[in-house]
């Protein structure tokens, strides 16, 4: 493992930090490969029930590293995360600006806590590109006129405006962003992991559950444990089975 991505565990929450502050945490090949590996490992780890993704320094992520792009880097390593995220809930802790690919990283997360005044936007058209990491699907989440304004002008909006648009859950002072995001992730991690994962899957796919999916969760050991814990007036002990 390199030092371009840092990890730390807080109970069942994994805190993942993009660590290229000197480059505003821009996505180069090394960072994307490391981040991809960390996210895949976290998804497979039953002890990780929520993830917090943040950036070192004062910027969350400035997007694709254009110097690396000129040298041949692409976003292919992270396309899978942009498109389907992970089964584990991910909370973005935007300690600062999230632009271009950084904004699309935010979109791939499930909940967003942002610093007051942080600038957020899909700026790719300013560099002759387009938002290939999920920004072009923005119209599925906000009104078409708003999505087109962001996508065609490349102009960022503030965290406060993004909250009004429904893209950000909470806006707090910069020094409280990480703690707020970890607290939110801990609240998620208290719940049954199978039910949480199924809820995320179905909500993201915008569909009803199938009978098999109902059985998968409702007949699980965790479902039985949840009922027992309620009857016995104690916190449940989840196993993810």
Catalytic residues: 104, 124
For residue 94, count other CB atoms closer than 10 A to its CB. Answer: 31
Give the whole-angstrom CA distance, residue 115 versus residue 93.
8
Q: How many CB atoms are located within 10 Å of the residue 196 CB? A: 20
Give the integer Cα–Cα distance in Å for 113 and 169: 6
Cα distance between residue 174 and residue 111, in whole Å: 17
Q: Are residues 54 and 46 in contact, defined by beta-carbon separation less than 8 angstroms?
A: no
- Are the C-beta atoms of residues 10 and 17 closer than 8 Å to each other? no
């Amino acid at each position: 493992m390199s030092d371009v991505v840092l990890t730390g565990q807080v109970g069942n929450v994994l805190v993942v930090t993009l660590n290229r502050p000197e480059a505003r945490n821009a996505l180069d090949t090394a960072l994307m490969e490391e981040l991809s590996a960390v996210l895949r490992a976290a998804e497979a780890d039953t002890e990780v029930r929520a993830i917090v993704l943040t950036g070192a320094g004062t910027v969350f992520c400035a997007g694709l590293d254009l110097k690396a792009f000129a040298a041949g880097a692409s976003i292919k390593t992270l396309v899978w995360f942009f498109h389907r995220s992970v089964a584990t809930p991910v909370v973005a802790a935007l300690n600062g600006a999230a632009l271009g690919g950084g904004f699309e990283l935010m979109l791939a997360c499930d909940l967003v806590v942002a610093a007051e005044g942080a600038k957020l936007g899909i700026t790719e058209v300013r560099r002759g590109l387009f938002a290939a990491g999920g920004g072009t699907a923005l119209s599925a989440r906000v009104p078409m006129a708003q999505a087109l304004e962001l996508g065609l002008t490349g102009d960022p909006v503030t965290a406060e405006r993004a909250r009004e648009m429904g893209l950000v859950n909470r806006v707090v002072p910069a020094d409280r962003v990480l703690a707020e995001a970890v607290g939110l992730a801990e609240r998620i991690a208290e719940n049954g992991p199978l039910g949480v994962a199924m809820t995320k899957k179905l909500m993201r796919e915008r569909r009803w559950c199938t009978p098999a999916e109902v059985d998968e969760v409702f007949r699980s050991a965790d479902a039985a444990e949840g009922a027992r814990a309620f009857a016995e007036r104690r916190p449940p002990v989840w196993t993810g089975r």
